[in-house]
Structure 1
Amino acid sequence: MRLFPLGLAGLAGLIGLASPATAHFQQLLPSADVLPEGGSVTLDMVFTHPFEGGPVMEMARPARVGVLAAGQAVDLMPALVETPVDGKSAWTVTHDLSEPGAAVFFVEPQPYWEPAEGKFIVHYAKVVVDSYASGEGWDDLVGLPVEIRPLTRPTGVWSGNLFSGVVLKDGTPVPFAEIEVEFVNDGSVEPPNDAFVTQVIRADANGTFAYAMPRAGWWGFAALVEADDTMASPDGSQVPVELGALMWVRATTMDGK
């Protein structure tokens, strides 16, 4: 058999095939997860790879941004401000929490076309901010097409605690759903190899999962479910749609960091 040398393009292609896919996460990170005295909270929305600190992907103006508090949903789209990150569109919103109780912030992004995977991605993200450290209302559901129902209160969580939840699609548990877990790395954690970048777990037959967060900081839980319907790709062909139910949880060390 005659062997032919690979050009740079061919070598790059083989490297690309050998490399693991990088997990996409729709970040929705508040300036605080608990407001002991109430007040304003600012949330940053970036579509990126949290553990690796990038690259940041273009995030079109979201289809919907809101907050659920005391059973009432408030539209936050008028307060949305574009705040580019690394030259790519990203967004922030600031909201005042003047009453005690948990506020469930959520974002529905526009579908993102991922040519490398041949599919669209729509990640519905949410995060809970507890006003006046009330401890109430943290498990209220927004009613998103895919959503994580927390079984562990997602605020006031120590590092090392177990976070658990149920993956829902149209309000029904998803058996054996796959959940990707990533830490928002500030560069202080160096993984031994790529297998440590994205943790992967599965829900049980009842759609329930659990994960112990080993380090203080923000953790993203992305339950991935394929949509029932396809969408037209840029070339007009019908392609699958990945729906993500994302929830963000902050762990704190016992020295308060």
Structure 2
Amino acid sequence: MNLGKTLLAAFAAASLPMTASAHFLLTYTEEAVFQGTGEIPVKLIFWHPIDNGPVMDLALPREFYMIHRGERTDLSDTLQPVVFQGAENSGAAFLGSVPIRRSGDYVLVTVPEPYYEESEDIYIQQITRSFLSRNGLPSDWDSIMGLPAEIQPLNRPYNVLVGSTFTGRVLAAGEPVAGAEIEIEYIASAPDIAGSATTPPTITPPAGGTLVAISDVNGYFTFGIPRAGWWGFAALGVGVETEFQGKELSQDAVIWVHASELE
């Protein structure tokens, strides 16, 4: 990859008026790197996490599974319905668990049911990946899975350093997508894993609206990481499916990466 040809992320106005945040499907764990073994709780929430904005009802996902050392394990039977309470409203969410046993990467994949966004009269389906690691031993983090929409990380997504950059490649069924609009959002309100609430936002959303990057001719984009925590990247409408129940479908690729300070 020629990093000189990648486009740096730019600040842009939000696509929806009067809002500074975007829809994001979270597969939230408190940490990204683990030393021991056990069942790691994970919360699935469809939300606006940078400003503790509206919560959307999440239906039972079509698929929820992990990839570890190239092997797929279905995690759908771990999902239990819960209510998630945001600052503005509550919504249906799910609490699941990830069995961490061997060292290596654990790639979590969520394929949700399309969500009808009444204000836009379209359906949204955010195919979401997040990444956990035991002992920091790499195994699966950079694999291309051939999903209808996905973002391939070019940096290990569980140990990005604050002040460095994250580079991803937008793909549709394994093929690069040029000119994709990627919305970028920070989890400023940390969900409570055990309860239904969340914390107040730790930052003020950018004055210019949602952060946006555009992929280059080979599907690459780069973003400078300014703060520790979870960062989400959503490539909008890049998937191979464009219609659902007679209406437009925005099939988005979402990836979550975790940044930490160098101590």
User: C-alpha deviations, 1:219-238, integer Å up to 9, x for none?
Assistant: 00001125544222xxxxx3
What is the TM-score with the length of structure 2 in the denominator? Answer: 0.83
**Structure 1 residue 189 and structure 2 residue 203: aligned?**
yes
CA distance in 1, matches of 2:58, 2:103: 32
Asked if structure 2 preserves the Cα contact closer than 8 Å seen for 1:69 and 1:101, the reply is yes
- Runs (5+) with no aligned partner, structure 1: 1-16, 233-237
Report which of the two structures shows the higher radius of gyration computed on alpha carbons. Answer: 1
CA positional deviation for 1:192: 5.5
Q: Counterparts of 1:61-80 in structure 2 under 5 Å?
A: 61-80=60-79
CA distance in 2, matches of 1:211, 1:39: 33
- Kindly indicate which of the two structures has a greater share of residues assigned to helix: 1
Match of 1:248 in 2: 256
> 1:242 corresponds to which letter in structure 2?
S
Match of 2:97 among 83, 94, 97: 94
Asked if structure 2 preserves the Cα contact closer than 8 Å seen for 1:174 and 1:206, the reply is yes
Q: Counterparts of 1:1-257 in structure 2 under 5 Å?
A: 18-20=17-19, 22-86=21-85, 87-186=90-189, 187-191=201-205, 193=207, 195-196=208-209, 198-226=210-238, 227-232=240-245, 238-255=246-263
What is the TM-score with the length of structure 1 in the denominator? Answer: 0.85
User: C-alpha deviations, 1:183-242, integer Å up to 9, x for none?
Assistant: 11131212362x24x20010000000110110111100001125544222xxxxx32100
CA positional deviation for 1:54: 2.1
Q: Which segment is superposed worse, 35-44 or 164-173?
A: 35-44
* Secondary structure of the structure 2 residue equivalent to 1:240: strand
* Secondary structure of the structure 2 residue equivalent to 1:137: coil
CA positional deviation for 1:126: 0.7
Superposed CA RMSD in Å reads: 1.7
Query: Structure 1 segments of 4 or more deviating over 4 A?
Result: none
Between the two proteins, the alignment pairs up a number of residues equal to: 232
CA distance in 1, matches of 2:18, 2:98: 41
